[in-house]
Amino acid sequence: MNKVAIIFIFIVTTSSMQAQYHYKVEYNYTLTHQIVGQPNAVEFSEYEIRLRNNSSASSIYYAFAYANSPNSTRRDEVITLNFLPDSISSQSSIILAANGDCFYSTNQDFSDSAQCGIVISNQNHCVTPVGIGRIIRLRDLVNINGDTNLTSCESLTLKAAECVVPFSYKVEYQYQVDSGTDNWNTLLDYGVRSPSFAIDMTDFPGITGADTNLKLRIVYEDTPSPYDEILTLDLTKCSPKVLASSSTDESCEYTNDGNFTLTFDRPLDPGEIITTAILDWAGPNNILNDGDDINSYASLTDLIYAGTTYTWPSTLNSGVYRIRYQTNNTNTQESHEPIELNSPVPVAFTADYNDLTCFEDGSGSITISASGGTGSYAYSLDNGSTYSALISNPMTITGLSVGEYNVRVRDSNTCEQQN
């Protein structure tokens, strides 16, 4: 009996007006077979994989092997289709020297947004290629990434494709000084990696937020080709960030003389100013949340600071604050919280007295006991004209004559009881 190789023939319709779809196809397959009990019975075997829809088809893998010799096939390139496939099919055959030839085919749904691996079905197949295969739909980088703003203070994660299956590509960049030239610099060498990759401004030597025209090029083959995608990034320098804040508490609970100093991560650039700084107060409950009684306590414009520190220019009452600000050459608003200004415990005292035992014998006394405030205490018996140290607490002042004494007590910050 004469044996004839079965050849798969397809007709793919094309039109200059049809849309074109680009796919990255890469695989490393070895076509082998095992016919149990008949090691020399195979004349040849073949296997084919096709992308297709109801009217068109395109072969992405075809291998033909004689006898028991394996056929190893590699592919790493971009293909163009004039149709959008919705299924992937495979077909295999083995031609034997004797009767018992084997033919089998399968067809499965294919969604290029959800599937990136080439489907290999080995169920009931006569012969199956072994290895790794991928097919990735190449789309416009702007559409699949959305955010193309790279700031000086944050990293940006980009996608070379929509799928999650690793595949081979290379990332190159070009900016400002290279604009208008073919001088592309390598960011990521060609190789198999996740479709998502993160970048920040430190990846590009000499670049700052003031530079423009940063472009990334995704190279889908080992060398640049017409299928490469270019993405232009917007560069933004971030406003200075607050590293820490130090507070000066109120000296007394009624003086409203608190303050704070901010330490930034960098000085202001020449010509850079803080265009707006808004200080929010948390309200009486000292809780910062947007649904609470936060109100804008103060708003200042056109601020500058020397070095890396800035002190709020006016005194504040105790409480919890948040500052929001933005500089003139950025579009990022920064904030820092909480800024806590505390108030000391109010000064309080009691004064108990003992009258004279005999007429004008100078045996009167006053016992003063103080609490709250800061540091040591001083007392006055003449309504604040003169003060003396409260040596002990409580302390009894003796040897007082008949008369009226107006007692006052203050702490180290000269804070006094207010009621």
Q: Residue 244 has what pLDDT?
A: 96
Q: Any idea which architecture 242-341 has in CATH?
A: Sandwich (2.60)
Same fold, 21-138 and 141-236: yes
State residue 295 phi and psi, 5-degree precision.
-140, 155
CA gyration radius for the chain?
41
* CA distance linking residue 416 with residue 373, whole number of Å: 8
Q: How far is CA 213 from CA 31, 176, 220, in A?
A: 48, 6, 22
Predicted TM-score (pTM) of the model is 0.65
Tokens 């040591």 -> residue:
376
Q: Residue 113 has what pLDDT?
A: 60
Return averaged pLDDT per consecutive 10 residues of the chain, 419 residues in all. 38 54 91 62 82 91 82 91 89 77 82 66 70 86 82 88 88 72 86 92 78 84 86 85 95 93 91 87 78 65 91 90 85 86 94 88 92 95 95 94 94 90
State residue 64 phi and psi, 5-degree precision.
-135, 125
What is the CATH number that goes with domain 141-236?
Answer: 2.60.40
Q: Residue 209 has what pLDDT?
A: 63
* CA distance linking residue 162 with residue 186, whole number of Å: 22
Q: What is the pLDDT of residues 220-259, one digit of tens each?
A: 998 888 888 888 888 888 889 999 999 999 999 999 999 9
Tokens 């000391």 -> residue:
344
Q: Residue 8 has what pLDDT?
A: 37
* CA distance linking residue 390 with residue 410, whole number of Å: 10
CB atoms within 10 A of CB 276: 16
Q: Residue 122 has what pLDDT?
A: 59
**284 prior amide bond cis, ω within 30:** no
Q: Residue 124 has what pLDDT?
A: 58
Is the distance from CB of 185 to CB of 222 less than 8 angstroms? no
Q: Residue 17 has what pLDDT?
A: 54
Beta bridge partners of 275: none
Q: Which residue in 339, 26, 356 sits closest to 193, CA to CA?
A: 26
**195 prior amide bond cis, ω within 30:** no
Is the distance from CB of 329 to CB of 269 less than 8 angstroms? yes
Q: Residue 3 has what pLDDT?
A: 41
Position 24: which residue type?
K
* CA distance linking residue 158 with residue 140, whole number of Å: 12
Q: Residue 7 has what pLDDT?
A: 38
Q: Domain limits of the chain?
A: 21-138, 141-236, 242-341, 348-410
Q: What topology is assigned to 21-138 in CATH? A: Immunoglobulin-like (2.60.40)
Q: Residue 12 has what pLDDT?
A: 40
Sign of the C-alpha dihedral, residues 16, 18, 24, 28? Answer: negative
3-state class (DSSP) for residue 220: coil
Token readout for 370 is: 């103080």
